[in-house]
Amino acid sequence: MASQLKNLSDFSHTTIPSAAPYRFGIVVAEWNAEITNALYQGAYNSLIVNGALVDNIVSYTVPGSFELTSGADLLLKTGKLDAVICLGCVIQGETRHFDFICNAVANGVSNVAIKYAKPVIFGVLTTDNQQQAIDRAGGKHGNKGDEAAITAIKMAALAETLKD
């Protein structure tokens, strides 16, 4: 697995633009709250550390990862944001429900991004077990929330560069 060799929160190899000029939405699934709250803290802190203004970050919760797509759509419909970060955690269970949810969320996030021509970031853990989720939400593999925030900053800067 790629993440066994990589800390998701190591950005020493890349330049991160200032987040100061951009407005961000964060949508967080309440399901698997221990994990999603850690992802949220990572994303929020990374935005702040990289210059985002507190007043330029709006955060909302949705019941589960499936609802992240609707949440992102509702936020972008306001026309006030430059990027939306979707944070969730789906852990494999005994049924195929995992496959359906993961597929729907990944496709939904992509579709919302295309619909609004705005970055919508997939910060959803899709793990085999609870320990893998913990390892990626501030554990030994870093925090996927950090990665999602840095991706949002970079994509908002790219969109700004390509305007007009």
Active site residues: 97
Residue 66 marked as a ligand binder? yes
Cα 162 to Cα 72, 156, 157: the distances in Å are 22, 10, 9
Cα 82 to Cα 147, 149, 158: the distances in Å are 17, 12, 11
Residue 95 marked as a ligand binder? yes
Locate tokens 């006030």: which residue?
A: 80
Residue 96 marked as a ligand binder? no
Residue 27 marked as a ligand binder? no
DSSP structure class, residue 104: H
Residue 91 marked as a ligand binder? yes
Write phi, then psi, for 128 (nearest 5 degrees): -80, -25
Write phi, then psi, for 90 (nearest 5 degrees): -120, 120
Residue 90 marked as a ligand binder? yes
Residue 67 marked as a ligand binder? yes
DSSP structure class, residue 3: G
Write phi, then psi, for 6 (nearest 5 degrees): -135, 135
CA gap 50, 7 in Å, rounded: 19
Residue 12 marked as a ligand binder? no
Residue 136 marked as a ligand binder? yes
Binding residues: 31, 65-67, 89-91, 94-95, 122, 136
Binding residues for 5-amino-6-(D-ribitylamino)uracil: 31, 65-67, 89-91, 122
Binding residues for (2S)-2-hydroxy-3-oxobutyl phosphate: 94-95, 136
